[in-house]
Amino acid sequence: PGLASKQVLCMDFVPGVPLSQLRAEMKRRGLDIEPGSRAERVFGRQLLQALTEAFAVMIFEEGFFHADPHPGNIFIRPDGSVALIDFGQTKRIGYGFRKQLAELVLRICDNDGVAHGDLPHE
């Protein structure tokens, strides 16, 4: 706090491999996974769950989101966890919109297609 400003860029080193380079890195280490294999599907599910949790915390708890989440900005850490880098493009989300978005997500999860159109537009 107090060390960053519009003129100062703060950076931290994040150990890991960008998602965009993961397959090549795994192959280099002799961990090549067959495309479409069970191992690839399990990894994909775990990655999706980790990213979903990360974005849920960002959006619903912290009130902001990373607006540039491409595979080069998603790192797989040595312990298998996920790290997001390059927060140069972020947006804040107000409480009212977060509440509406949470309602929409819950309705989608409940498969309540009719209710989606019932949400007020702001």
| Model pLDDT for residues 28-60, shown as the tens digit of each residue | 988 878 888 998 899 899 999 999 999 999 999
Residue 121 has pLDDT above 60, yes or no: no
Place of tokens 């400003």: 5
Q: Where residue 114 falls among pLDDT bands split at 50, 70, 90?
A: low
Phi-psi region of 80 (alpha: psi -120 to 50; beta: other; left: phi over 0): left
Of 12, 68, 86, 110, the catalytic one is: 68
pLDDT for the residue numbered 62: 94
Query: How many CA within 13 A on the CB side of residue 64?
Result: 10
Q: How far apart are CA 19 and CA 29, in angstroms?
A: 15
Residue 26 has pLDDT above 80, yes or no: yes
Q: Which are the contacts of 64, defined by CB distance < 8 A and separation ≥ 6?
A: 58, 90, 91, 92, 93
Cβ-in-10-Å burial (0-12, 13-18, 19+) of 86 comes to: middle
Q: Is 68 a catalytic residue?
A: yes
| pLDDT mean over 68-97 | 92
pTM above 0.85, yes or no: no
**CATH code linked to domain 17-93:** 1.10.510.10
| pLDDT mean over 71-94 | 92
Q: What is the mean pLDDT of the chain?
A: 86
